[in-house]
Structures are given as structure tokens and as C-alpha cells.
Amino acid sequence: MEAAASGPSAEERALLEAARGGDEDAFRRLVEPHRNELHAHCYRMLGSLHDAEDALQDALVRAWRGLAGFQAERPIRPWLYRIATNASLDVVAKRPKRILPADRYSPSRPDQGPGDPVVEPIWLEPYPDELLAVEDGYAGPEASYELRESVELAFIAALQNLPATQRAVLILREVLAFSAREVAEALDTTEAAVNSALQRARQGVDERLPERSQQDTLRELGDERVRETVASYVEAWERRDVDAMVAMLVAEATFAMPPMPNWWQGRAEIVAFLAGPGRPTRPLRSIVVRANGQPAVAWYLFEAEPERYEPAALEVLSLEGGRVREITAFALPELFERFGLPTELPAEHN
């Protein structure tokens, strides 16, 4: 893969030789510069932070064991991507695809409540920006998607609805800008098969993506207005100000709460659900973070015995014209630790 890439540097050659001799520290130093980008690649393939971690570890084990067969005159990065891709494909073959509620269920009525959580590992998971290791712009002239765009929640969700091979081809060609020949070598197939899979994958993804990426929207709004929008949204929720909530949502907004299956479409439906009887009234606190290249909010809910705020949901927001278009509230407290967030906040926290 990556025909235009230069061969390994003198330092990489020395580390490779030492690693082949059994030096595990040399192997770690050899692959460490690529670890985060490979992790993001596995996440694109799998839609799950947990699965991405497993696939990456498997890939690194395979790379360690396969050092003897690696051609030392070739760059190591494409070789690692080939191994990580195939490790991810093996994971895909063993478990159901990751989805969001809208991929399986019809919109709910406000009086239906969130429903019982679906505990099987089927839900898409958010990805911390701190792990992304991706820059602005495109990986190369042949890429069709920006690197940050390629980790947006909508893009990851669209990828998961593709057959596994199409998913791999689209990512390697359109995100990472590898050539058809290189992708064919990685997937042990033909260039004709790669080009055919790419055509079908493009159509499948384009049918599911919004008209504008979040990266375009965020650039248009600018950092200051994005901060103001998120701050207003957070304040409305913390005060449970229904009028302010209405003002923050576009008319066609959606709200989902995986692992709960129910989701709501339309500003009126969402607000009716949020303001309905039996909804939590305990105080909220929040920490604004970023996930999938988008604004996100980590919500904590007050607990009285003992007094503290405990993780409730990690919300990924999609914006449109200074308002909120999509709210995906991952009610999965275990995500907080993976995002480097506190597992609780003191009662006096502001």
C-alpha cells in the first residue's frame, strides 16, 4: 500500500532489525508513532471504541509475529494498516454491526418513554477527540472525505451499514487515499473488485449522509459561536427551561438515547418527551468535551446518598445554523472513564 511513500528511515531500519531479534521495546518504539491513527482506523471499521481497542491489540500482536515476513525496504505504515484492516474484518465477522436507534426503530411518541435498554453489544459508540490523531484536510489528492469528517458520528453510522469489504475499501481509498492496487493487495483481491466495491460503497454512504458535514458547519459558525451555542444548550438543560430548549432545536431535530431503543423526531416531539410527566428532575451538572470531531456534553445526575453527581450520559451534538439538529445521548456511564472524565463530581461542583 501507499506506493508513493518513501522507504523506512535509518532509525526505523535499526528498530526493525532489533525487533526482529526479539527486542520488544524496539517494536513498541517502531509502531508507537502509528498507534493512534491505527486506533482511529479500527474505530471507523467497527464503530465501537471497545472493539477498536481489541482489534488494534490483535493487529499489533500479528505485526510482532509477522516481522520476519516484512520486507525491510518498504515503509512500515502501509503494512500496519493492512494488518489492522484484516484484524478489524475478523471482528466484524464475529459480531453484529453497530447501529444507532434510528437504524432499527421507527420514531417514538413522547408518552412512550425511552424503553428498556438493549444490552446486547449492538450500539455505536462515540470516540474521544483526544485519541483521533487526525489533522484537518484530506489524506491525499485521491481522498474524497476529510480526515475529521471521516470520524463524524453520521459518517461512522453510515459506514456500519455497508458490507464489511465495502467498508474497508471506502475507508482505505476515500479516506486514507491508498490506490486501488494497494487496497487490492491488502484485501487479497483484484483491482476490478476494489473499484466495483468502491462504487457501491459510495452510493450506500451518500444515501445516508446529511447534505453538509459537521466540519463544514463548524467552520461556518466559527469557534466562538460554537461555544456560545453549546453553552446556551447546556444552560437550557440545567435549568430545564422548556422555552429555551425549544429555541435551541431546529424544527426537524432528533434525539436518541442508546442503549434505550426509543428515539424522537421533531422539535415538538422531543420537547414533549423532555417535559413530560415522570421525567427526572434531579439537578444536572456537565462537562463540555468533544467526540467524533463534534461538540459533546458529559452529563452528571445528582445522587442524594451520599451527595454527589454520577455519570448519566455522554451527548454528541450535531449543529445546524447555530442550533442543535441531532442529540445522541449515550446513556453508557462506562464511557466516561474512556473519555478521561471523572467518575463522579462532588455535590458542590459548579
| CA distance linking residue 190 with residue 192, whole number of Å | 5
Region 299-321 average pLDDT: 94
pLDDT at 45: 98
Mean pLDDT value across the chain:
91
pLDDT over 90 for what percent of the chain?
A: 78
More confident residue, 205 or 278: 205
For residue 350, is pLDDT > 50? no
Tell me what the mean pLDDT of segment 206-233 comes to.
95
How confident is the model over 273-282, as pLDDT tens digits?
A: 887 765 667 8
All three cell numbers of 128, joined, read 474521544
pLDDT of residue 282: 85
Number of neighbouring beta carbons within 10 Å of residue 292: 26
Residue with cell 465477522: 93
Top-confidence residue, 285 or 8: 285
Closest CA to 41 of 186, 138, 166, 168: 168
CA distances from 145 to 10, 24, 153, 321, 339 (A): 33, 36, 14, 22, 25
Residue 2: band (very low, low, confident or very high) from pLDDT cuts 50, 70, 90: very low
Q: Kindly tell me if the per-residue pLDDT of 259 is higher than 60.
A: yes
3-state SS class at 281: coil
- pLDDT tens digit string along 282-306? 899 999 999 999 999 999 999 988 8
Whether the predicted pLDDT of 23 surpasses 70? yes
Q: Omega into 306 within 30° of 0, i.e. cis?
A: yes
**Could you tell me the pLDDT band of residue 125, with boundaries at 50, 70 and 90?**
very high
- Cis bond leading into 259, ω under 30°? yes
Write the pLDDT tens digit of every residue in 37-48: 999 999 999 999
Q: What is the mean pLDDT of residues 71-89?
A: 93
Banded pLDDT at 3 (limits 50, 70, 90)? very low
Name the E strands within the chain. 249-256, 263-265, 284-291, 294-303, 308-320, 323-330, 345-346
φ, ψ (nearest 5 deg) of residue 113: 75, 175
Per 3-state DSSP, the chain is made up of helix, strand and coil in percentages (nearest 5) of 50, 15, 35
- Position 151 scores a pLDDT of 93
Closest CA to 259 of 124, 158, 154: 124
Give the pLDDT mean for 48-77.
Answer: 93
- Say yes or no to pLDDT of 141 above 90: no
* pLDDT (mean) for 120-142: 81
pLDDT-derived band at 5 (thresholds 50, 70, 90) equals low
Is residue 190 pLDDT above 50, yes or no?
yes
In this predicted model, what pLDDT tens digit does every residue of 95-113 receive, in sequence order? 999 999 999 999 999 988 8
**Cα atoms in the 13 Å half-sphere on the side-chain side of 208:** 20
d(CA 146, CA 242): 37
User: What are the structural domains, with CATH classification, of the chain?
Assistant: 10-206 (1.10.1740.10), 214-346 (3.10.450.50)
Q: Which of 136-140, 231-235, 299-303 has the lowest mean pLDDT?
A: 136-140
Contact present, 15 and 76 (Cβ < 8 Å): no
193 is written with which cell numbers?
473488485
Listed residue (320, 31, 77) closest to 176, CA to CA: 77
Q: Tell me phi and psi for residue 136, to 5 degrees.
A: -70, 155
Residue 329 DSSP SS3? strand
Position 4 confidence tier, pLDDT thresholds 50, 70, 90 = very low
**In the chain, what percentage of residues exceed pLDDT 70?**
94
User: From CA 31, how far away is CA 77, in angstroms rounded?
Assistant: 8
- Residue type present at position 296: A
Q: For position 281, what pLDDT does the model report?
A: 76
Q: Which of 250, 270, 271 is closest to 262 using CA atoms?
A: 270
Residue 221 to residues 290, 293, 320, 321, 328, Cα–Cα distance (Å)? 16, 15, 9, 7, 21
The confidence band for 143, taking pLDDT boundaries of 50, 70 and 90, is low
